[in-house]
Structures are given as C-alpha cells and as structure tokens.
Amino acid sequence: MIKLKNITAGYNNVEVTKNINIAFEEASITTIIGKNGCGKTTLLKTAANILKAFKGEVILKDRNISSFSNKELAKKLSFLPQIRKVPNITVYNLVMHGRYPYLDFLRVPQQKDKEIVQKTIEDMALGKYINKNIYELSGGQRQKVYIAMLLAQDTDIIFLDEPTTYLDINHQLEILEIIKRLKKMGKTIVMVLHDLNNALSYSDKICLMDKGEIVIYDSPEKVFESREIDRVFKVYSSQITFEDEMPKQYLFNLK
C-alpha cells in the first residue's frame, strides 16, 4: 500500500501540487487525469520518491519512503517516465536493466536473471527482436520493451507516465491490455493518461486533478456522474453502454 499524506511539492520553491492526500489501491489501476500542467507528473514523481516533497510524507508499507535505500525501493516500485532518450542498447540488455536492483555490486547477471529476462521478452512477444538495437524498433515495440524492463524489475507498484502517448490506436490498446494483465498479476498500477476515454474505460479508480489539487478520486462511473470532468476540461461528456461485456465508452464534446 502506498499513501501520500498532506503532500505539497514543486520545483525551486514554487508549489505545484498542494494538499495531496491519496492512497493507491493494491492490485488495481489508478489513472491520474487533468489538464496540461496541472501537476500529474509532479504527483507521480513525488509518489515514486523521484521528487522530494516540500511538505507531507509518502508512506510505503507503513514506512516513510525516504527511509528505503535506492536499491530496496527499486525492488518495490518502478517508474516509467514520459520522455526518454532512445539509448543505444539491445532489447536484451535494456530488459536486463530491470534486474539491476537484484544484482551484486559488479552487476553480473546470474542464470536466474538471464532466464527471467529471456522469459519476459518472450511473454511480451518480442522474441524476434531480442538482439536488435532498440533504435531499430517502432515506437510501439519500443514501449513494449520498456514495459518488459519493468516486468523484469518485478515490483508490486508500477508508475507509468503517459505510456500510450504517440502510439497508434492498435499499440495504445495493446499496451493498455498489457497493463490490465499486470493488474491481474496483483500489481498496483498508477499512471497518467491523456486519453480520457481510455482512462475511464481501463481504470478501477480515476484521480482528477486541477490546479495542483485532487478534485475527485473515485470509480470511473462516479467520476463521470460527478460532472467534474466537464467542469475541469470545459467539455460535455457522454457515456455509451453496450449490451454485451464491452466496457462503457465515453465521448467528449466542447461545451
């Protein structure tokens, strides 16, 4: 369980997020939504201990997050940032990065680490690219390699900052289905998504932010019914229900 208590955070003494109180549910998908610049990434980075809060505390398993060593923390939570330079590295070696918290100081992978990396790459249907440089892959394939790296890291908590941005619809849905699989494995997923329909149809909980604060944190249905999305984004939202098992879909029009 990870909890943020009375968090105020920002950069260079400027407060960006204020009075953040939230507990992310285990084995579920929470998506943070809100307009550009409202503090979504800042909240995610604070929760992952990448950014130190000005005030308040982040509690992980009943301990203050800053009491964990980097290596200890890297076995408990992983973070996929939004903008990444494409490094000059093979698929295999990038996924092996996920095993670093488990290696000794010489970083020599053991047989077990090699097996985990091999299996993870195959599970993500990336087997044929294993020795390719990630430069040679498409954006969607590259994103899957990064997710394979997180899988190899095998943390209970996974933070993803806009994992589907810049991907075509097919890869977006593929990544979201993989994220759903991670949840079924018992992982706690906290992510930022721009696509409101994907956010509402794939998440168990929605955290809507505005001007650095949490407006509402509830199920997609409750958040939709609250009409707070309409107020914050200045849109009119509607819901489409299907007769079969399909999840509800959402449409947004300018007000």
The distance of closest approach from Cβ of residue 161 to ligand ADP in the complex, given in angstroms and rounded to an integer, is: 8
Please give the Cα distance from 202 to 176 (Å, whole number): 7
How far apart are the C-alpha atoms of 39 and 214, rounded to whole Å?
Answer: 10
Q: Which is nearer to ligand ADP, 10 or 109 (CB)?
A: 10
CA distances from 43 to 72, 83, 161, 174, 211 (A): 21, 16, 11, 26, 12
Closest distance between ligand ADP and the C-beta of residue 200, in Å?
Answer: 18
Q: How many CB atoms are closer than 10 A to CB 93?
A: 16
Question: Are 43 and 17 spatial neighbours (Cβ–Cβ below 8 Å)?
Answer: yes
User: Could you identify the residue written with the tokens 């007769």?
Assistant: 243
Which chain residues interact with ligand ADP by CB under 6 A?
Answer: 11, 16, 34, 36-42
Single-letter amino acid, residue 246:
M
Contact criterion met (CB below 8 Å) for 77 and 28: no
Residue (179 or 232) nearer to ligand ADP, CB:
232
> CB 190 → ligand ADP: shortest distance, Å?
13
Q: Are 94 and 145 in contact (CB under 8 A)?
A: yes
Min CB(89)–ligand ADP separation in Å: 25
Nearer to ligand ADP, 53 or 134 (CB): 53
Q: With respect to ligand ADP, which residue has the nearer C-beta, 165 or 249?
A: 165
- At its nearest, how many Å lie between ligand ADP and the CB of residue 159? 12
- Distance between CA atoms of 125 and 177, rounded to whole angstroms? 14
Residue 234 beta carbon to ligand ADP: minimum distance, rounded to whole angstroms: 16
Question: For the chain, what percentages of helix, strand and coil (3-state, to nearest 5) are there?
Answer: 40, 30, 35
Q: Least distance (Å) from ligand ADP to the CB of residue 39?
A: 4
Nearer to ligand ADP, 40 or 142 (CB): 40
Owner of token pair 């939709």? 224
Beta-carbon neighbour count of residue 100 at 10 Å? Answer: 15
Neighbours of 179 (CB within 10 A): 22
Q: Please answer whether residues 129 and 91 qualify as being in contact, where contact means their C-beta atoms are separated by less than 8 angstroms.
A: yes
Nearer to ligand ADP, 16 or 95 (CB): 16
Of the pair 4, 117, the CB lying nearest ligand ADP is at 4
